[in-house]
Copies of this chain bind each other. A is one copy, B any other.
Amino acid sequence: MSILCVGSVALDSVETPFGKAERVLGGSAVFFTAAASVFSPVRVVGVVGDDYPLDELAFLEARGADLSGIEKGRGESFFWAGRYHYDLNTRDTLETRLGVFADFQPKIPDAFRDSRHVFLGNIDPTLQHKVLDQVDAPEVVACDTMNYWISDSRKELLSLLERVDILMVNDAEARQLADEPNLLKASRWIRDRGPGIVVVKKGEHGAILFADGWAFFAPGYPLEVVFDPTGAGDAFAGGFMGHVARTDSLAAEDLRRAMIFGSAMGSYSVENFSVDRFKTLQEQEIYDRVREFREMTAFEFRMEERHA
């Protein structure tokens, strides 16, 4: 199953305690696609300026990503520069230049309109609506958003949620959206407004999926070196949706595995700058990490203990 992915295709300049990368591949659509394309073909829609090194995206095409939906605009590509603090949990944005992204009006190519799986990266909810309007019969729509849209485009976002199956946000965004500090209550509030599934990403603390009457928790993988946290949430979304599309199933058992594959891809993402880790990532490494996740969380429960 191909996934339609709409989001930013950007250039990032990143400083971490471990080094510096200048004008490297970034943006939600790029991180998502780098992770998702391991599992399923991805159809990418976005916009870049005339300064974008499109040839560097060739490794995604080699894995089955269709980049024909990336428009070339006149001007500069979306540019973000940031510096991470010593503990890598906080960062300062040094510069944001929207460039051609400021006037982005997603146009879904005819060949992409039959997509049944859709990932709406973090863009204006009005545009997210317009993307869905151009898809014939979307069956599984996953969506990301951020604090800015939650406060400033609340009405549009709430009406969008009625068309969304899986909302993927971080814990602060879930709390802000529901105006509720308790995550369990916040996720119920959100689920009452459309998305049957809410995935809350908590960075180093892992991720929780809330669904109808059940929840699933994936831990953060304890890495010795977090090299660059940029894009980890989008890589998580890519691993998750890639697995959802591959299995073409929203059954609980498949969603549990999707959470773990998402966590594995998020954890690999931060091992190098940009999407560099995905260029060398071997399938076996993914399965090895999934197995480690199981070893980190599995325990036996013996009923005879009750009477010990």
Chain A contacts to B: CB under 8 angstroms: 86-89, 175, 181-185, 202, 204-206, 208, 210, 214-217, 219, 222-226, 246-247, 253, 256-257, 259-260, 283, 287, 290-291, 294-301, 305-306, 308
Complex copy number for this chain: 2
* Contact A217 to B219, CB < 8 A, known contacts A86-B181, A205-B206, A301-B257: yes
- A202 surroundings in chain B (CB, below 8 A): 205
> When the two chains form the complex, which single residue of B183, B256, B291 contacts A222, counting CB atoms closer than 8 Å?
B183
- A204 surroundings in chain B (CB, below 8 A): 183
Contacts A256-B300, A283-B306, A290-B301 given; 14 further ones with Cβ under 8 A? A88-B181, A182-B225, A182-B226, A185-B224, A205-B206, A208-B219, A208-B222, A216-B296, A216-B297, A219-B219, A256-B299, A257-B305, A259-B299, A260-B299
The residue in chain B whose Cβ has the minimal distance to the Cβ of A293 is B299
A306 to B290, CA, bound (A): 11
Interface centre among A202, A283, A291, A305 (most CB of B within 10 A): A305
* Interface pair B287/A306, CB less than 8 Å apart: yes
- A306 surroundings in chain B (CB, below 8 A): 283, 287
In the complex, what's the smallest C-beta–C-beta distance from A5 to chain B, in angstroms? 20
* Interface pair B300/A253, CB less than 8 Å apart: yes
A-B contact pairs, 9 of them (CB 8 A): A184-B223, A208-B219, A216-B297, A217-B296, A253-B300, A256-B298, A287-B306, A294-B299, A298-B298
